[in-house]
Amino acid sequence: MALIHNIEHWADTHHPRWIDFVRVALGLFILYKGILFISNTEALMGLISGMDIGFFHMALAHYVAFAHLVGGILIALGLLTRMAIIVQLPILFGAVFFVNINQGFLSVSNNLEFEMSLAVFVLLIIFLVFGSGKFSLDHYMKTHPNW
């Protein structure tokens, strides 16, 4: 537990302000992908159907869409950021390693999906360490406990 506290303290003292704008953009991008998944469920089912997971396709599709919608809003606002990122990490891990393996990592038909998934995955790991920053609802609630 002391290691986690030390990492969080280091990240709070070494958090540049410009990275908060990257967090907001990341949250909005994840929200956008969630809206795309809701509006085009067949495409999401097509991505998931390549994986051999039995009859869990529909449950997984709902989990991905809901997690992207709620997680994108929470990450953009900076509210419960690390918890929202923990929920997003298995989705992006699956997108990077399982979905893109079937389509080919750097193939022409992939339309930069691998690169975008990998960039979002790396950014999620960075914000898992750095946290939400000064321009967030987490910071506001920490500095205004009587609110």
Residue-level pLDDT at 117: 87
What is the average pLDDT score of the chain?
81
Contacts for 91 with CB less than 8 Å, ≥ 6 apart: 63, 64, 67, 68
Band of residue 19 on the pLDDT scale cut at 50, 70, 90: confident
Contact call for residues 132 and 139 (beta carbons, < 8 A): yes
Is 90 exceeded by the pLDDT of residue 30?
A: yes
The pLDDT tens digits for 107-143 are 555 567 778 888 999 999 989 988 888 888 888 888 8
Residue 102 token pair: 């079937």
Could you tell me the residue range of the domain that residue 129 belongs to?
A: 2-143
Band of residue 104 on the pLDDT scale cut at 50, 70, 90: low
Q: Is 112 left (phi over 0), alpha (psi -120 to 50) or beta?
A: left
**CB count in 10 Å sphere of residue 106:** 9
The pLDDT tens digits for 40-87 are 877 666 666 666 666 677 777 788 889 999 999 999 999 999 999 999
Band of residue 147 on the pLDDT scale cut at 50, 70, 90: low
Counted domains in the chain: 1
* Predicted TM-score (pTM) of this structure: 0.81
> What percentage of residues in the chain have a pLDDT greater than 70?
78
Q: Phi then psi for 26, rounded to 5 degrees?
A: -65, -45
Residue-level pLDDT at 124: 94
